[in-house]
């Protein structure tokens, strides 16, 4: 097995005897191609009546000549020959390149990169071959590229790092085969999972380390470290932990809370991590006086104040302000008042640790929704996502409604990630709402076996899908069978029956029993239906 090096050995073209003598007389130790051709003797240049290519098998001669860019009979300087050499090398098709002037003929000798025969992974246990094959970009029956192999090795190491094995190393190697073929082997040393040995905080006075650890998604390794996966160190998870800490403090009135630093130190053996959050808590504030004013003619502030939840005296939290704004803006929509916005104006009393809030009803910009673009949904139909929006193309743009639509899309459970944002449209009064989703599995299939002395052997099969055919429909099937009893059922739910905001469900079951200890057998068949509208009214029959 031959280890692949990061740089491929390449030989420059060989100058004539006269050129070597002159170069030796004028320069000491010149070894590079460009230095060789910058000697005064060769400054006059070359002129080749013929350019000959040798060593190429798969790459066409015309392609190599095109890379070189040297025409017959054209005078070429030493720098021009060096440029031609670099262009051929940078094509990434050749392992070695050599330019040899022979009188009026320029010979270009190349050695092509081999073809990848097979790709193997060795030493991997935690990540399967099929998972690693999806990561690498090198492919069988394609030209071998050292730079691509190095990039693939880095991608594999990154996959291990995300899973908590930051000590993993990946070494790409090649095994030479006949007919200019190689086997590409990634030798993997997985290393141990790097657990968080200690999760500590600095600067916290109001809450203990133990209380703050309960807030974080990341956990500290303990007695159940073999079962708990969240004690594995993942750098990207720190961003979520920072947000969770910020939400925790701000919901308790600490409006000036800051995370000054979040560091993760790895032990010398690279088998443990020590994470420290440096905090600045600030002081807790309570809500003081709450007022509502209207700066829009014809809009009564008292009506909007009536829908607020009384919050004076409570611990200040941004969610309280947001909820009151949502209530008032929803009232404006129900009253048909477009482009109405509610701005919270905060006044702080540092001495008494009180925040006074003034809700100002103002007229916002006249902006309309130009269109809604949806991307990333390979299975889910566009209509399933679009019906989560209360706004359509041409409606007034309401930022709060767009945020609520994003929350409804995430609540579907069909996507591992859903991002909704607004960007400028074709005009100053137009916006384009972009929806970018990442789908996740939504179905499950289960099998089971059971045995008891009284009922004998039984089995069960279950299937459920929450996004059936990408239509957002729910389908469930189950079958339980034993020696004396059988039970089968199905259920189907259409979340938008007849295109309306009404959910319609239908289900059925079939049950039989044949108990030898009883004087009768049973057989039950049932059918149920139900419909639910936005008003939460339920109707059904069975």
Q: Identify the CATH number of the domain in which residue 16 sits.
A: 3.10.20.310
Q: Which domain holds residue 516?
A: 443-541
**How many structural domains does the chain have?**
6
Cα 325-331-333 angle, rounded to 5 deg = 105
Q: Are residues 469 and 528 in the same domain?
A: yes
CA distance 382 to 386: 6
Based on the fold, state whether residues 73 and 10 are members of the same structural domain: yes
- DSSP string for residues in 277-296: EEEE-----EEEEEEEEE-S
Same domain, 103 and 6: yes
| Rounded Cα distance, 322 and 307, in Å | 13
Asked whether the beta carbons of 289 and 312 are under 8 A apart, the reply is yes
**pLDDT tens track for 212-263:** 999 998 887 665 444 444 456 677 778 889 999 999 999 999 999 999 998 8
Same domain, residue pair 275 and 350 = no
Is residue 8 exposed (0-12), middle (13-18) or buried (19+ Cβ within 10 Å)? middle
How distant, in Å, are the alpha carbons of 45, 201, 218, 264 from that of 213? 73, 9, 8, 15
Q: Which residue in 4, 10, 9, 11 sits closest to 148, CA to CA?
A: 4
Domain match, 267 and 208 both: yes
- If asked whether residues 227 and 172 sit together in one domain, one would say no
Q: Is 233 helix (H, G, I), strand (E, B) or coil?
A: coil
The residues pairing with 275 across neighbouring beta strands, listed in sequence order, are 199, 264
Q: Which of 112, 137, 161 is the last residue of a domain?
A: 112
Together in a domain, 475 and 535: yes
Q: Answer for the pair 76, 55: CB distance below 8 angstroms, yes or no.
A: no
Q: Tell me the backbone φ, ψ of residue 18, rounded to 5 degrees.
A: -60, -40
Dist. CA 324–CA 304, nearest whole Å: 9
Strands 2-3, 195-202: pairing kind: unpaired
**Coil/strand/helix, residue 39:** coil
Helix (H) or strand (E) holding 452: strand 443-452
Choose the final residue of a domain: 257, 280, 303: 280
How far apart are alpha carbons 498 and 311 in whole angstroms?
Answer: 42
Look at residues 378, 404, 434 and tell me which one is the last residue of a structural domain. 434
183 and 201 part of one domain: no
CA distance 403 to 48: 69
470 & 530 share domain: yes
Instruction: Provide the edge-to-edge strand list for the sheet that holds 340-349.
Output: 286-294, 354-363, 340-349
Please tell me whether residues 419 and 452 are part of one structural domain: no
Q: Answer yes or no: do 269 and 307 share one domain.
A: no
The pLDDT of residue 10: 37
Show the DSSP H helices in 101-208 as ranges.
129-135, 146-162
What's the pTM value of the predicted model, to 2 decimals? 0.54
Give SS3 for 389.
coil
Give the side-chain half-sphere CA count within 13 A for 331: 18
- Cβ atoms of 487 and 480 within 8 Å: the answer is yes
List the beta bridge partners of residue 538: 532
Segment 312-339, tens digit of pLDDT: 889 999 999 989 998 898 888 888 888 8
Instruction: Verify that 108 and 163 share a domain, yes or no.
Output: no
Taking only the tens of pLDDT, the chain with its 542 residues reads 444 433 333 333 344 433 343 333 333 333 333 333 334 444 457 888 888 899 888 888 888 989 888 888 788 888 888 889 999 988 888 889 999 888 888 899 999 889 999 999 998 888 888 889 989 999 998 889 888 999 999 999 888 877 767 778 899 999 998 888 899 999 998 877 777 878 899 999 999 999 999 999 888 766 544 444 445 667 777 888 999 999 999 999 999 999 999 888 777 666 678 889 999 999 999 999 999 999 988 888 999 999 988 778 899 999 999 899 988 988 888 888 888 889 999 999 999 999 999 999 998 888 889 899 999 888 899 989 988 888 888 888 888 788 888 888 988 889 988 889 888 888 888 999 999 998 988 888 888 887 776 667 888 898 999 998 888 889 999 988 877 778 889 999 998 888 787 888 999 988 887 766 656 677 888 888 887 765 443 333 33
């Amino acid at each position: 097995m031959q280890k692949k090096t990061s740089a491929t050995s390449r030989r420059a073209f060989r100058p004539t005897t006269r050129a070597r003598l002159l170069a030796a007389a004028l320069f000491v130790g010149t070894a590079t191609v460009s230095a060789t051709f910058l000697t005064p003797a060769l400054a006059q240049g070359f002129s080749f009546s013929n350019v000959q290519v040798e060593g190429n098998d798969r790459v066409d001669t015309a392609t190599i000549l095109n890379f070189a860019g040297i025409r017959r009979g054209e005078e070429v300087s030493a720098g021009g020959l060096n440029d031609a050499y670099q262009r051929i090398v940078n094509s990434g098709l050749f392992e070695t390149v050599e330019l040899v002037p022979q009188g009026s003929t320029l010979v270009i000798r190349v050695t092509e990169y081999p073809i990848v025969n097979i790709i193997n992974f060795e030493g991997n246990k935690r990540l399967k071959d099929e998972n690693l094959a999806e990561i690498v970009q090198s492919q069988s029956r394609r030209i071998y590229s050292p730079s691509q192999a190095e990039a693939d090795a880095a991608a594999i190491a990154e996959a291990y790092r995300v899973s908590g094995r930051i000590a993993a190393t990946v070494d790409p190697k090649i095994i030479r085969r006949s007919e200019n073929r190689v086997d590409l082997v990634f030798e993997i040393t997985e290393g141990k999972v790097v657990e968080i040995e200690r999760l500590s905080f600095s600067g916290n006075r109001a809450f203990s380390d133990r209380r703050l650890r309960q807030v974080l998604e990341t956990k500290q390794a303990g007695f159940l470290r073999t079962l708990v996966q969240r004690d594995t160190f993942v750098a990207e998870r720190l961003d979520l932990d920072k947000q969770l800490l910020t939400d925790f403090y701000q919901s308790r009135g600490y409006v000036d809370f800051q995370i000054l630093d979040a560091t993760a130190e790895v032990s010398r053996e690279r088998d443990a991590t020590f994470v420290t959050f440096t905090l600045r808590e600030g002081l807790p504030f309570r809500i003081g006086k709450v007022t509502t004013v209207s700066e829009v003619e014809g809009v009564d502030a008292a009506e909007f104040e009536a829908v607020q939840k009384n919050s004076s005296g409570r611990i200040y939290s941004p969610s309280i302000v947001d909820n009151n704004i949502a209530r008032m803006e929803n009232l404006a929509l129900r009253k048909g008042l477009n482009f109405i916005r509610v701005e919270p104006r905060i006044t702080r009393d540092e001495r008494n640790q009180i925040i006074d809030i003034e809700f100002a009803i103002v007229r916002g910009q006249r902006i309309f929704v130009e269109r809604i673009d949806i991307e990333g949904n390979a299975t889910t139909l566009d209509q399933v996502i679009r019906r989560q929006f209360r706004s359509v193309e041409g409606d007034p743009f309401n930022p709060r409604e767009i945020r609520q639509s994003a929350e409804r899309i995430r609540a579907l459970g069909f996507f591992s990630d859903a991002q909704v944002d607004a960007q400028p449209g074709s005009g100053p009064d137009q916006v384009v709402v972009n929806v970018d989703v990442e789908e996740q599995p939504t179905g499950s299939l289960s099998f089971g076996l059971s045995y008891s002395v009284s009922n004998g052997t039984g089995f069960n099969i279950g299937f459920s899908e929450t996004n059936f055919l990408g239509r957002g429909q729910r389908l469930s099937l189950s079958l339980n069978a034993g020696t004396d009893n059988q039970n089968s059922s199905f259920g189907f739910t259409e979340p938008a029956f007849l295109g309306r905001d009404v959910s319609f469900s239908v289900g059925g079951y079939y049950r039989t029993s044949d108990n030898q200890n009883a004087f009768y057998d049973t057989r039950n068949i049932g059918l149920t239906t139900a419909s639910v509208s936005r008003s939460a009214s339920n109707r059904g029959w069975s």
